């Protein structure tokens, strides 16, 4: 049983969904944070989800912080809160709005109305062109 920062090391942790190029290359974590997350992230995830039970006081404090969403006290807890913030909150911005769509519909209706062209020949006769 190997301990790292008070947590049992279970194996390397990767999040290919949110960080497909890795924690280090994402630009969100510095080198020490990315190494710490890779080393003990699997254990932190298991403790938070309840798949594992805490084995020492450090892990118990971490589980309590996750359950009651209290302020982080240690570097590991702050790192995990940062990771959770980056993976759970994704703002959605739409470039389409109802006003813009409405203007496009009006423009299409105007184009349809302008298809009938009335031309006058030099001799005074009218020619109506329906396209």
pLDDT tens digit sequence for 14-68: 999 999 999 999 999 999 999 999 999 999 999 999 999 999 999 999 999 999 9
Distance CA 96, CA 81 (A): 33
Q: Are the beta carbons of 44 and 82 closer than 8 angstroms?
A: no
Smallest Cα–Cα separation from 130: which of 121, 118, 19, 120?
Answer: 118
Partnered with residue 118 across adjacent β-strands are 128
pLDDT at 88: 86
Which residue carries 């974590």 as its tokens?
29
Q: Are the beta carbons of 19 and 62 closer than 8 angstroms?
A: no
pTM of the model: 0.65
pLDDT tens digit sequence for 72-122: 999 999 999 999 999 986 667 777 655 555 566 666 666 665 555 555 555
DSSP classification of residue 128: E
pLDDT at 116: 53
pLDDT at 128: 60
pLDDT at 31: 94
């Amino acid at each position: 049983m190997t301990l790292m920062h008070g947590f049992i090391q279970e194996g390397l942790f990767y999040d290919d969904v949110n960080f497909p190029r890795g924690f280090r290359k994402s630009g969100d974590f510095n080198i020490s944070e990315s190494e710490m997350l890779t080393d003990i992230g699997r254990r932190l995830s298991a403790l938070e989800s309840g798949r594992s039970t805490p084995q020492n006081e450090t892990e118990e404090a971490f589980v309590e912080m996750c359950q009651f969403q209290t302020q982080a006290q240690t570097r590991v807890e702050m790192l995990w809160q940062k990771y959770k913030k980056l993976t759970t909150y994704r703002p959605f911005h739409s470039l389409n709005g109802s006003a813009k769509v409405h203007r496009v519909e009006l423009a299409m209706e105007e184009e349809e109305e302008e298809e009938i062209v009335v031309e006058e020949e030099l001799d005074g006769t009218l020619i109506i062109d329906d396209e």
